[in-house]
Chains A and B, each alone.
Chain A
Amino acid sequence: MNPLLKVKNLRQYFKISRNFTVKAVNGVSFEIFPGETYGLVGESGSGKTTIGRSIIRLYDPTGGEIIFNDKNISGNLDKKTNRMLRKNMQMIFQDPMSSLNPRKKIADIIGEGLDIYHSYKNLRERNEIIANILQKVGLSPAHAERYPHQFSGGQRQRVGIARALVMNPKLIIADECISALDVSIQAQVVNLMKDIQAETTCAYLFIAHDLSMVKYISDRIGVLHRGYLVETGLSKEIFSNPVHPYTKSLLSAVPIPNPAVEKQRKFLNYDSSNVDYEHCTMKKISETHFVLEN
């Protein structure tokens, strides 16, 4: 089977001023297969969102290649490729407030993609599709007439999820899409994402910091640190046999919902100030498990 998405040696730099360039993503490579969930975790500011935004081409990659659906989408996009991309790849954004147009009703925010791709026969069908997806993400059809600011943080995040799911895309980039939800609704949304995956074999790039959830939902996981992929492997490999010191530090810091234990706990600090990742290479631990080493 061919991978649905192939990211090869992706680099994404931002020039802030003449003498300050942020190297947000440095030679990151990974693949996602149809129907698979790839979890991306890592330090805040390590480039997770940037990778997502480069893949969906909100940025022009500084270097490297992105192959999606057997098409190279890293260079200039012709009209046809662009249309294919917009239909088959959706992103759920980290900041729900700034990604929802405040002047539009929820129905029109969710319906926008449907409108562009004429995905319904008549207005009644459009309303039905929207009511249906609202219900699936745990909102009510009555919410369709409200505006984004009239929602709680978690309700807004679900609007973003509904907007992505309603298009039936092949790849969904979900950037911290459940972090503002209470645990019960998180469970509901994650169950829904799994159901939809079973139904449509869509793939997820699941960016999150809640490691129990990432472990639960992901087939494979990539760990990012300072713009480098420092470790990647099957979900169980990463959790039962973490090799990179950053991965170890990350796992040691997962808070445990038990006050007696948690109030005493210390986590492993990883000081990386003297590490030069640029000259490290990926070492094979198993067929599926790789780690960046000197």
Chain B
Amino acid sequence: MEKNILSIENLDVTFRTNSGNIHAIRGIDLNLPRGKTVAIVGESGSGKSVTMKAVTGLLDDNSVINSGKIFYFQGGKKIDLLTLTKKELRKKINGQQISMVFQDPMTSLDPTMTIGAQITEGMFLHKKISKADAEKKAVELLKLVGINDAEKRMKNFPHQLSGGMRQRVVIAIALSCEPKVLICDEPTTALDVTIQAKILDLIKNIQEKMGLSVIYITHDLGVVAKVADFVNVMYAGKIIEVGTAEEIFYDPRHPYTWGLLSAMPDLETDDDRLYSIPGSPPNLLHEPVGDAFATRNKFAMKIDKKISPPMFRISETHFAATWLLHPDAPKVELPAELKKRIERR
């Protein structure tokens, strides 16, 4: 069997707006190995959600896919999801094969429908199941995601739930049709850490039982450490570093990854100011020349301002796009603070 269940090749997406074209995704390769969890982290606005919307065929109308393939491996078949129509995606793929939990729960919930109706809807569509059975299963799912008074809550409308409860309802909907691939876009941002831990354990359990493969977008590096087998780091529409969780946390190579790891406070942090990466992300209305991170990178060399770096191989699983990995580049030291942190582990 194919090792990956999902594989994105050279995806490139532009948005047309009044002020011009925004080149949001600039050539992305990403693999999801069967049964594994892949995390995507990175700058806000770097294209994490857009990439996943491309997978589920839910890109906004003002988008143009310039190039790319998104392969989904089903049985012995290899399907390019980008060649399917919206209707085919809805009927054959979304929900039952690939399910997505969106970043903003309110955008995926219908404010005029009870949550009970919304959880059972997909089951009716994809499975031959009676109303009573679907409702029983919905209540079960609500309990699994930690919602008390599940029976009564079935009759609630979304606005009657707290932010985190809504988020959990969306997770319940995503799990309702027992998908093969679960894509979670910031699924636990509104959850307290105890419930977050329960949800992450729940997904892990389902993964072990049913061989679910998971893509996990999150800003919480603690969550990444807990769930991820592999980590992709995104910056300005590209994946700039990829590796196993251990490689990214203990042996990061891209200066943006260094900045990201340095910016995260832990319970020991009591400095006057938190570290944040200087400067601001590039405006993708104007195509960056060279490495998009160069203007914020104190290690940038001349070549960074001219040519965008290719992916350099560090190991079988670890790659990073920075000229610092070129054999002729000067040796640079990991920032001292980060080095200390990694050594403390």
Chain A residues near B (Cβ < 8 Å):
14, 16-17, 20, 22, 41-46, 48-50, 94-98, 138, 140, 142, 145-146, 149-155, 176, 179-188, 190-191, 194, 209-213, 215-216, 239, 249-250, 253-263, 265, 267, 269-270
Our pick among B49, B168, B261 for the contact of A153 (Cβ within 8 Å) is B49
Complex-state Cα separation, A16 to B161, whole angstroms: 11
**Is B162 a contact partner of A44 (Cβ separation < 8 A)?**
yes
CB distance from A22 to the nearest CB of B (A): 8
Count of CB-CB pairs between chains A and B under 8 Å: 199
**Is B270 a contact partner of A216 (Cβ separation < 8 A)?**
yes
Query: Of the 9-residue stretches B5-13, B83-91, B103-111, which lies at the interface with chain A?
Result: B103-111
20 contacts between A and B (CB under 8 A): A44-B195, A46-B162, A94-B190, A96-B104, A98-B106, A140-B283, A153-B44, A179-B189, A180-B103, A180-B186, A182-B43, A182-B260, A184-B277, A187-B275, A210-B220, A256-B222, A258-B345, A259-B226, A259-B245, A267-B193
Contacts of B224 in A (CB 8 A): 257
Interface size, chain B (Cβ < 8 Å): 73
Q: A44-B192, A183-B264 are in contact. List 18 more A-B contacts (CB 8 A).
A: A16-B152, A22-B160, A43-B192, A44-B163, A44-B165, A142-B283, A145-B19, A176-B190, A180-B186, A182-B44, A186-B219, A191-B274, A191-B276, A194-B273, A250-B193, A250-B194, A258-B249, A262-B226
CB distance from B198 to the nearest CB of A (A): 9
10 closest A-B pairs by beta carbon, nearest first, are A255-B222, A44-B164, A154-B44, A187-B274, A187-B276, A253-B193, A257-B221, A262-B225, A179-B189, A184-B263
Considering the complex, which residues of chain B in the window 186-214 have a beta carbon less than 8 Å from any beta carbon of chain A?
A: 186, 189-197
Complex-state Cα separation, A153 to B164, whole angstroms: 16
Residue of B nearest to A20 (CB): B152
Complex-state Cα separation, A50 to B222, whole angstroms: 28
Our pick among B103, B152, B280 for the contact of A138 (Cβ within 8 Å) is B280
**Is B152 a contact partner of A44 (Cβ separation < 8 A)?**
no
Contacts of B270 in A (CB 8 A): 216
CB distance from A7 to the nearest CB of B (A): 19
CB distance from B318 to the nearest CB of A (A): 14
**Contacts A184-B277, A259-B246 given: A211-B193 contact, CB under 8 Å?**
yes
